[in-house]
Amino acid sequence: MRFCSHLDITRYMTRLMRKAAIPLWHTEGFNPRPYITFALPLPLGFLSSYEIMDIRLTDDDYDINSLPETLNSFCHEGIVFFRAAEPVLKVGNLAAADYEIVFDDGGALAGAIKEFLAKDKITVLKKTKRGGEKEIDLKEHLSDVSVTENNENTLLKLTLPAGGSLNINPELLLSAFCEKGETPYTVTRLVLKDNAGKVFA
């Protein structure tokens, strides 16, 4: 499932809702579309254990607590719904995301990663919304960083800004550390956080 694009996932969710007979609200106008949005679309190739999808229902009496079980009965392997609730925060309150990066290296890279992260500056080029590039220092935006290793892999955990004002993909950090394909790794987004550092809900 991690190799499905955001647009593919959106189409999948639309068909899933229809299959599960969820009373989904549609936009108005000449070409009505089901209202389905994601707090922060997941980059292609990433795994995740905590994503937020917003929908709007037409039936005010529908039991939203039954949504996870209903949807899971129609889901393919790799997607699991675990909670449904009324929205509390707006997307504008989204501020950060926790990531787990596992290097399939037998623990050999732990020392090099720690040395890399200990640099005074980690300068990369980040694409802007207008298609240009700007230089940023990733070191200023890293937090809650930890590196551990065992006989099978090296585990890097960190928190990066996420949201409308500033969104940093961990691939920026990884591309600055190693050439793509040089060392196999898996990126998992663990949780989204609000601007108070709490789990975004």
The identity of residue 56, as a single letter, is R
Residue 134 lies in a domain: yes
Residue 200 lies in a domain: no
If asked whether residues 120 and 187 sit together in one domain, one would say yes
If asked whether residues 64 and 98 sit together in one domain, one would say no
Bridge pairing between strands 47-48 and 185-194: parallel
Residue 1 lies in a domain: no
If asked whether residues 105 and 173 sit together in one domain, one would say yes
> What does the block give as tokens for 68?
């996870």
- Where does a domain end: 40, 72, 104? 72
Alpha carbon separation from 46 to 3, 110, 171 (Å, rounded): 8, 21, 10
Q: What's the mean per-residue pLDDT of the chain?
A: 91
Residue 86 lies in a domain: no
Residue found by looking up tokens 């950090």 in the block: 173
Contact call for residues 38 and 94 (beta carbons, < 8 A): no
If asked whether residues 63 and 98 sit together in one domain, one would say no
Q: What is the pLDDT of residue 20?
A: 95
If asked whether residues 52 and 100 sit together in one domain, one would say no
Q: What is the pLDDT of residue 180?
A: 57
Read off the pTM: 0.90
Bridge pairing between strands 143-149 and 154-161: antiparallel
Q: 139-147 long-range contacts, Cβ below 8 Å, gap at least 24?
A: 141/166, 141/168, 142/117, 142/173, 143/96, 144/98, 145/117, 147/110, 147/113, 147/114, 147/117
Q: 145 lies in which domain range?
A: 93-194
Give counts: helices (H), strands (E), the chain.
4, 9
Number of domains in the chain: 2
The residue with greater pLDDT, 157 or 164, is 157
Residue 187 lies in a domain: yes
Model confidence at 181: pLDDT above 60: no
- Where does a domain end: 72, 104, 122? 72
Sign of CA dihedral 86, 100, 194, 41: negative
Residue 81 lies in a domain: no
Residue 77 lies in a domain: no
Question: What is the percent of the chain where pLDDT is above 90?
Answer: 72
- Could you report the per-residue pLDDT of 32-64, keeping only the tens digit for each? 889 999 999 999 999 999 999 999 999 999 999
Indicate which CATH number applies to the domain containing 153: 3.30.70
- Could you report the per-residue pLDDT of 101-124, keeping only the tens digit for each? 999 988 899 999 999 999 999 999
